[in-house]
């Protein structure tokens, strides 16, 4: 069967999963609608209780379930409806698990009625799952035609842990082909669009999660990050995201093609508040995943961690790979002012030498095996790579000696980065996750500001920080006149500073795009990273 036919049939199966009564009226399906964030609540499909449930914080949802104010089944139904609407707007889902999820929710309700006990800290909470993570009994496509129909026998370990905590998977979400680019598009399910402006990218490779959570179609999205794949979708869709240290949260059962074992990808989370990021991490670790995954560090969640009252924060404006665009610079400067006004010490970092070194190392790791894995996956069906897929085909495979040399360079960079951090006695670094806001589809520039923290294996939290301003964010002549930085060689999948200047023709190109901070902590200090991120979040949103 031709790959086109196989993919078309799979899309038809997906469309048929949405009940007729949840189909959007034709006027609300118009491509002329750009900002679709309020469509769900205007559609007539959701009743007032659906809206109340899906707009509630997860702490409130879980509390009301425990108080018998809402049943697990009713909560699940509300999110199933809203996810179906979200998918029709931004193409964010690959599989609806609604019947199974509703039955599991009813089982939870029966258990609670019989025992008076909840199944765990996430009792009855619906969760969405990126379609490179196994959910038992369902497909894991990773956006590849060759994986259509391949059914997972077991849950990915993180999903097993979350089920043990009481969570219920109810949808799988759209992603980049083979999880290997920053745009969430593939030949099976197509392109995910940004709910804030459907002409803009939802990011990748976890764009389905970012868009679904932004539309309140999921309370918690489980996803992966090998170079920004949690952080860019979170930032560009205006929600919160968290990338932990690589082996703190289990990755067993993740089926992305990946670049190589040299790159430290991880399992992360996207949600609408930091409290949910903490719930995800603490609940997952509460299931002791290290007992089933030798790569997972046996390190329980430590809720007693505290931050000092006066924080010492490093602020990174420039990595000398690309100049930050005006809206991204503005948000960092506003954050600097607010934090200083709240009594914290904020130091501007001149660490561009470390970032240039780091980008060269991580981009070499992304292509070191010459694209053998992704080529095999594509050749199995005959499908072509989507534009800008990081195949590695344009580079020759590195020799073992070259790989080891690059590993030694990574080790030295980690030592140098840590030494500077400790010299300044920092609590966290604040920077941007990307040099620009959510770009037009296919026009992202580089992942350098995100990927370096995979290389260093530092935990990172994304905190929303407003939107592009059509007046404030007009670029000055001086910004355009700045000499472009040299492009990183031997990595043709990212663009450089010159292309960034050409892309930023004005803030109107990025209209409605969310802006965000990337808050970085030291390895294995996820608790402190999230605690500091919450404190910063409270300060910048205090008005």
Residue keyed to tokens 């030694």: 408
Contact 497, 510 (CB under 8 A): no
Query: CB-hemisphere CA count at 13 Å for 478?
Result: 1
Contact 316, 429 (CB under 8 A): yes
Instruction: Please pick, among 6, 64, 81, 130, the residue that the annotation labels catalytic.
Output: 130
Quote helix, strand, coil % in the chain, to nearest 5.
Answer: 40, 15, 45
Q: How far apart are CA 111 and CA 132, in angstroms?
A: 31
Instruction: Please pick, among 43, 205, 381, 533, the residue that the annotation labels catalytic.
Output: 205
List, as one string, the DSSP characters of 60-119: HHHHHHHTTSS-HHHHHHHHHHHHHHHHHHH--EEEE-HHHHHHHHHHHHHHHHHHS--S
Contact 271, 173 (CB under 8 A): no
Active site residue 130: yes
**What dihedral do alpha carbons 299, 266, 278, 168 form, nearest 10°?**
-110
> What stretch of H or E contains 169?
strand 168-173
Query: CB-hemisphere CA count at 13 Å for 227?
Result: 30
Active site residue 205: yes
Joined together, the tokens standing for residue 186 give 């593939």
Using a 10 angstrom Cβ sphere, with 0-12 exposed, 13-18 middle and 19 or more buried, the burial of residue 375 is: middle
**In what order do the strands lie in the sheet containing 428-431?**
93-96, 168-173, 126-130, 221-225, 266-271, 240-243, 460-467, 514-520, 428-431, 312-315, 345-348
Joined together, the tokens standing for residue 458 give 């530092």
Q: How far apart are CA 483 and CA 160, in angstroms?
A: 51
Residue keyed to tokens 């289990």: 250
DSSP state of 299: -
Q: How far apart are CA 430 and CA 244, in angstroms?
A: 16
Read off φ and ψ for residue 206, nearest 5 degrees: -100, 40
Instruction: Please pick, among 229, 245, 254, 282, the residue that the annotation labels catalytic.
Output: 229
Could you give the residue numbers annotated as active site?
A: 130, 205, 229
């Amino acid at each position: 069967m031709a790959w086109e036919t196989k993919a078309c049939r799979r899309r038809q199966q997906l469309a048929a999963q949405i009940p007729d009564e949840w189909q959007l009226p034709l006027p609300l399906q118009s491509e002329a609608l750009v900002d679709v964030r309020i469509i769900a609540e205007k559609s007539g499909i959701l009743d007032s209780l659906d809206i109340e449930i899906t707009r509630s914080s997860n702490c409130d949802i879980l509390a009301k379930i425990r108080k018998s104010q809402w049943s697990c089944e009713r909560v699940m139904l509300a999110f199933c409806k809203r996810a179906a609407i979200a998918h029709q707007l931004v193409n964010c889902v690959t599989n609806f698990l609604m019947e199974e999820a509703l039955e599991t929710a009813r089982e939870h309700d029966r258990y609670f009625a019989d025992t008076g006990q909840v199944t765990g800290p996430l009792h009855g909470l619906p969760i969405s799952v990126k379609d490179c993570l196994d959910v038992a009994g369902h497909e894991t496509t990773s956006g590849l035609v060759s994986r259509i129909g391949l059914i997972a026998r077991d849950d990915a370990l993180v999903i097993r842990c979350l089920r043990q905590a009481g969570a219920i998977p109810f949808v799988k979400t759209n992603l980049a082909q083979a999880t290997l680019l920053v745009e969430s598009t593939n030949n099976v399910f197509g392109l995910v669009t940004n709910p804030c402006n459907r002409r803009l990218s939802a990011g990748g490779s976890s764009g389905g999660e970012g868009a679904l959570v932004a539309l309140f179609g999921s309370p918690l999205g489980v996803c992966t990050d090998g170079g920004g794949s949690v952080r860019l979708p979170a930032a560009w869709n205006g929600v919160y995201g968290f990338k932990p240290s690589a082996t703190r949260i289990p990755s067993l059962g993740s089926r992305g093609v990946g670049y190589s074992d040299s790159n430290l990808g991880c399992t992360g989370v996207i949600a609408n508040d930091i409290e949910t990021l903490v719930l995800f991490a603490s609940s997952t670790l509460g299931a002791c995943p290290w007992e089933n995954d030798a790569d997972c560090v046996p390190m329980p969640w430590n809720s007693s961690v505290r931050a000092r009252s006066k924080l010492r924060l490093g602020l990174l404006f420039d990595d000398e790979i690309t100049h930050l665009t005006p809206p991204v610079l503005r948000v960092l400067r506003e954050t600097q002012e607010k934090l200083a006004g709240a009594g914290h010490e904020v130091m501007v970092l001149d660490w561009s030498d470390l970032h240039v070194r780091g980008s060269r190392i991580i981009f070499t790791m992304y292509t070191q095996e010459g694209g053998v894995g992704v080529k095999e996956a594509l050749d199995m069906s005959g499908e072509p790579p989507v534009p800008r897929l990081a195949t590695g085909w344009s580079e020759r495979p590195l020799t073992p000696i070259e790989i080891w040399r690059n590993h030694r360079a990574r080790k030295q960079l980690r030592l140098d980065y840590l030494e500077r951090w400790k010299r300044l006695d920092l609590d966290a670094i604040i920077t941007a996750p990307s040099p620009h806001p959510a770009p037009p589809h296919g026009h992202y520039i580089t992942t350098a500001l995100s990927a370096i923290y995979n290389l260093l294996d530092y935990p990172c939290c994304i905190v929303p920080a407003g939107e592009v301003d059509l007046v404030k964010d007009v670029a000055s002549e001086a910004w355009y006149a700045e000499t472009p930085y040299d492009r990183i060689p031997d990595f043709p999948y990212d663009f450089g500073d010159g292309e960034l200047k050409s892309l930023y023709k004005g803030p109107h190109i990025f209209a409605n795009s969310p802006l965000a901070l990337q808050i970085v902590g030291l390895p294995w200090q996820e608790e402190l990273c999230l605690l500091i991120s919450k404190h910063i979040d409270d300060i910048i949103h205090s008005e």
